[in-house]
Amino acid sequence: MIKVAVGVTGASGSVYAKVLLERLSKMSDSVEVSVVMSANAATVWELELGNSDYKKLPFDFRGKNDFMAPFASGSSSYSALIICPCSMGTLGRIAGGISNDLMTRAADVMLKERRKLICVVRETPYNLIHLRNMTTITEAGGIICPATPSFYSKPQTIEEVADTVVQRVLQLAGIDSNGYKWGE
């Protein structure tokens, strides 16, 4: 059983989190998922998607200040933290080593334990501070995966467009979700 934590920030792009969480919910026989949402994540989700369906997902939701969550410790067996979407504020706190909430603490744990930290950044354009923070996280062992969709699979809906990013994220996390693969 693979254990993965998912962080959802208040960055625009709630559709990415929705598609990721829905896809992970279909893998409950092989993937155990815990979720932490930032203070603004629920507000942005409801604004962008017009619902609060995240409340219906069958995951272990943890409060943003729940430092007793298993993935807040290096002794846990969580193999990855996927922050999707990842705001530039969250990215900056991680790059600066600031562990002021569960999400940034979990990111710190992933980096120090040499496990996978995947930040699905959602901002455009990037300024120099953003780029330097991405470089810092990359040099520390994290993976920056911009929410930049591909169109090889000819997606028809916004969810299918978002799924092109989600498929890549899951692949980076070592999770095969049987999605579109180039040349197959």
Task: Give the integer Cα–Cα distance in Å for 82 and 74.
Answer: 16
- Residue boundaries of the structural domains of the chain: 2-172
Q: What is the mean pLDDT of residues 82-111?
A: 98
Dihedral angle sign, alpha carbons of residues 48, 174, 78, 109: negative
Q: What is the mean pLDDT of residues 28-51?
A: 96
Q: What is the pLDDT of residue 49?
A: 97
Q: What is the pLDDT of residue 177?
A: 80
Give pLDDT tens digits for 106-124: 999 999 999 999 999 999 9
Whole-number average pLDDT of the chain = 95
For residue 122, give both structure tokens: 């959602």
With 80 as the cut, is the pLDDT of residue 87 above it?
A: yes
Q: What is the mean pLDDT of residues 21-37?
A: 95
Total Cβ atoms within 10 A of residue 180: 15
With 80 as the cut, is the pLDDT of residue 182 above it?
A: no
Q: What is the pLDDT of residue 179?
A: 75
Q: What is the pLDDT of residue 150?
A: 92
With 80 as the cut, is the pLDDT of residue 183 above it?
A: no
Q: What does CATH list as the number for 2-172?
A: 3.40.50.1950
Dihedral angle sign, alpha carbons of residues 161, 176, 9, 113: negative
Per-residue confidence at 178, pLDDT binned at 50, 70, 90? confident
Per-residue confidence at 151, pLDDT binned at 50, 70, 90? very high
pTM (2 d.p.): 0.96
Q: What is the mean pLDDT of residues 30-34?
A: 96
Q: What is the pLDDT of residue 176?
A: 86
Q: What is the pLDDT of residue 181?
A: 72
In 21-162 the beta strands, taken as DSSP E runs, fall at 31-37, 60-62, 80-86, 116-121, 143-144
Q: What is the pLDDT of residue 147?
A: 97
